[in-house]
């Protein structure tokens, strides 16, 4: 059963996560790094199809929440990019510049506020045009100076960015909460990745934002990875671009804007590492490119008959919306099992002589070991089983996260929590400027980060700051991160 494989994974997830992650990317044929460009990669069909399915989930949800799609240029004129001062400071060191064209240099867009805001200025005249909620899917480019890692830290980010404009600050802040809800609905409820919605400290916000809310997700090695973030831009960009509207009294005001950015490539990294096991990938049923694989088991005599039955079953499953394929290759069944398990297919159906006689197929579910039988008549039950499958993945991930957030009352306790590869929940002086020094101490001494405060729930601090001893204003989460 656990015979050492030739093409399977040669390390265990819990023993050497980073090697496990590299192997799974290559061996499951998700991505290929052999174009040898730092920070860039080739997405192979399995990854591309999964990402496409994730795009659909997010876009459907955004559209439900009144967003409309747009497509913006891949390039930004230098003048636009430099319009908002803190944005310039934050992003220009990371810009890929294109050769001067005419008078102007062009940047490969690192994010698109400086494309959307000038268009808001043209599209919005009065409060009646608001709110304006737009998004695009596509790539942005950031010349990351740190070490890059496949899917996790890349120079090309494949994502959706939503850019919204409102008449009031209250509506913009409500949008930030709506974005958190979108992350909850898709990333957590659908894809089974739980997260902490965390308002970042002032020193760690998006360049140009009033504040930033990130979603922190646990990796198996205990480090946090930031998943979709949402930003209250306030009036910073609208002021920089003179994007105004007339209010109900006819008076001109600046727009209030927000931005939300779920990165598909990064979320894929979390899906792989959260759900995967030592056999390989486990994709949630809702996004698995192949949801069910049929393995016909035959010999020279009964081959035609069994393939025919397999095809019939495949047609039936496809007709009820279950993405199904048949592996009719000449490999032996055992090899096929390993192959499709490595690639994360939720359900496997075996059909051979036995199944034809009993009119029941053998069903194997990717996340459990026992096989069961399922009457061919009741094959549509797979739909419910798929939902159950996703629920199981989600619950397992939730348990993992819950066990990893630990209250710490003293600095010593916090140090131990971090050493134990967990996240410490501590009382802290402040996430405004005054607290930055305490955060720097934590970073220097413990090599961990103050991630921020919960954004969707008020937590009352008690007692003193864990570092400086001044009265604590906030409860913050401290952990290592990618």
444 binds RNA (CB under 7 A): yes
CB of 337 to RNA, least distance (A): 4
Contact with RNA (CB under 7 A) among 216, 350, 390, 449: 350
Distance CA 172, CA 175 (A): 5
Q: Which of 58, 241, 339, 428 binds RNA (CB under 7 A)?
A: 339
371 binds RNA, rule: CB under 7 A: yes
Of 390, 28, 20, nearest to 219 by C-alpha is 20
Does position 114 interact with RNA (CB under 7 A)? The reply is no
Give the binding range for RNA (CB under 7 A) out of 230-238, 262-270, 291-299, 379-387: 291-299
Task: Single out the residue of 51, 282, 297, 467 in contact with RNA (rule: CB under 7 A).
Answer: 297
Q: Is the dihedral of CA 228, 182, 255, 140 positive or negative?
A: positive
Cβ-in-10-Å burial (0-12, 13-18, 19+) of 281 comes to buried
Calpha distance 287→291 (Å, rounded): 8
For RNA (CB under 7 A), the number of binding residues is: 49
Q: How far apart are CA 123 and CA 313, in angstroms?
A: 52
DSSP 205-217: S-TT-SEEEEEEE
Residue 29: which H helix or E strand, with range? none
Residue 267 or 297 having the CB closest to RNA:
297
CB of 401 to RNA, least distance (A): 23
**Taking contact as CB under 7 A, which single stretch among the options 99-107, 127-135, 299-307, 430-438 is the one that binds RNA?**
299-307
Q: Would you say how long the chain is, in residues?
A: 482
C-alpha torsion sign, points 143, 147, 149, 153: negative
Residue found by looking up tokens 């790094």 in the block: 33
Q: Which stretch in 175-183, 326-334, 383-391, 405-413 sits in contact with RNA by CB under 7 A?
A: 326-334
The residue among 251 and 369 lying less far from RNA, judged by its C-beta, is 369
Cβ proximity to RNA: between 420 and 459 the closer is: 420
Among 12, 29, 37, 68, binds RNA (CB under 7 A): 37
Q: Binder to RNA among 36, 249, 384, 460 (CB under 7 A)?
A: 36
Which is closer to RNA, CB of 110 or CB of 131?
110
Give the count of beta carbons closer than 10 Å to the beta carbon of residue 285: 26
Q: Which of 14, 29, 38, 42 binds RNA (CB under 7 A)?
A: 38
Does the protein bind RNA through residue 15 (CB under 7 A)? no
- Contact flag: residue 299 with RNA (CB under 7 A): yes
> What would you measure as the largest C-alpha separation in the chain, in angstroms?
84
Tokens representing residue 3 in the block: 């015979």
Question: What's the closest the beta carbon of residue 334 comes to RNA, in angstroms?
Answer: 2
Q: How far is the CB of 179 from RNA (least distance, A)?
A: 30
- For 148, the 3-state DSSP assignment is coil
For position 3 contacting RNA by CB under 7 A, the verdict is yes
What 3-state DSSP class applies to 66? coil
The Cα-based distances of 321 to 96, 285, 286, 314, 459 in angstroms read 43, 12, 11, 11, 44
* Residue 136 DSSP SS3: strand
| Contacts with RNA, 145-184, as mask; x by CB under 7 A | xxxxxx----------------------------------
Read off φ and ψ for residue 264, nearest 5 degrees.
-65, -40
The DSSP letter of residue 69 is E
Residue 481 touches RNA, criterion: CB under 7 A: no
Does 298 help bind RNA (rule: CB under 7 A)? yes
Residues that bind RNA (CB under 7 A): 1, 3, 5-8, 18-19, 22, 33-34, 36-39, 145-150, 279, 297-300, 303, 330-335, 337-339, 341-342, 350-355, 362, 364, 371, 444, 447
């Amino acid at each position: 059963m656990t015979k050492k494989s030739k093409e399977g994974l040669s390390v265990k997830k819990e023993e050497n996560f980073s090697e496990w992650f590299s192997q799974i990317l290559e061996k499951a044929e998700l991505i290929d790094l052999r174009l040898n460009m730092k920070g860039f990669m080739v997405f192979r069909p399995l990854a591309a199809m999964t990402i496409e399915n994730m795009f659909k989930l997010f876009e459907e949800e955004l559209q439900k929440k009144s967003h409309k799609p747009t497509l913006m240029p891949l390039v930004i004129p230098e003048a636009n990019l430099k319009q908002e001062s803190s944005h310039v400071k934050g992003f220009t060191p990371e810009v890929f510049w294109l050769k001067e064209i005419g008078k102007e240099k062009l940047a490969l867009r690192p994010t698109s506020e400086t494309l959307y805001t000038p268009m808001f200025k043209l599209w919005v005249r009065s409060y009646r045009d608001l709110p304006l909620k737009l998004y695009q899917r596509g790539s942005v480019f950031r010349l990351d100076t740190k070490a890059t890692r496949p899917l996790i830290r890349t120079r090309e980010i494949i994502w959706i960015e939503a850019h919204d404009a409102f008449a009031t600050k209250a509506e913009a802040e409500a949008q930030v909460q709506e974005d958190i809800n979108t992350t909850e609905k898709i990333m957590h409820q659908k894809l089974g990745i739980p997260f902490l919605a965390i308002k970042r400290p002032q020193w760690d916000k998006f360049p140009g934002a009033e504040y930033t809310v990130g979603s922190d997700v646990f990796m198996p090695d205990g480090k946090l990875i930031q998943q979709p973030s949402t930003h209250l831009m306030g009036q910073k960009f609208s002021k920089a671009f003179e994007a105004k509207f007339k209010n109900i009294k006819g008076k001109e005001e600046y727009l209030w804007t927000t931005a939300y950015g779920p990165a598909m490539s990064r979320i894929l990294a979390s899906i792989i590492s959260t759900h995967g096991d030592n056999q390989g990938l486990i994709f949630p049923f809702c996004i698995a490119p192949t949801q069910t694989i049929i393995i016909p088991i035959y010999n020279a005599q009964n081959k035609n008959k069994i393939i025919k039955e397999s095809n019939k079953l495949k047609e039936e499953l496809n007709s009820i919306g279950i993405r199904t394929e048949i592996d009719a290759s000449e490999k032996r069944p055992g090899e096929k099992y390993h192959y499709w398990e490595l690639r994360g297919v939720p359900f496997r159906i075996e059909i051979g002589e036995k199944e034809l006689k009993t009119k029941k197929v053998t069903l194997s579910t990717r996340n459990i070991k026992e096989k069961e039988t399922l009457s061919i008549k009741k094959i549509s039950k797979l739909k419910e089983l798929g939902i159950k499958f996703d629920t199981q993945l989600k619950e397992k991930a939730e348990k993992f996260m819950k066990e990893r957030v630990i209250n710490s009352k003293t600095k010593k306790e916090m140090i131990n929590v971090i050493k134990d590869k967990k996240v410490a929940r501590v009382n802290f002086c402040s996430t405004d400027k005054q607290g930055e020094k305490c955060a720097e101490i934590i970073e220097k001494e413990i090599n961990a980060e103050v991630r921020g405060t919960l954004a969707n729930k008020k937590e009352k601090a008690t007692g003193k700051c864990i570092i400086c001893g001044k009265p604590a204003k906030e409860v913050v989460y401290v952990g290592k991160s990618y």
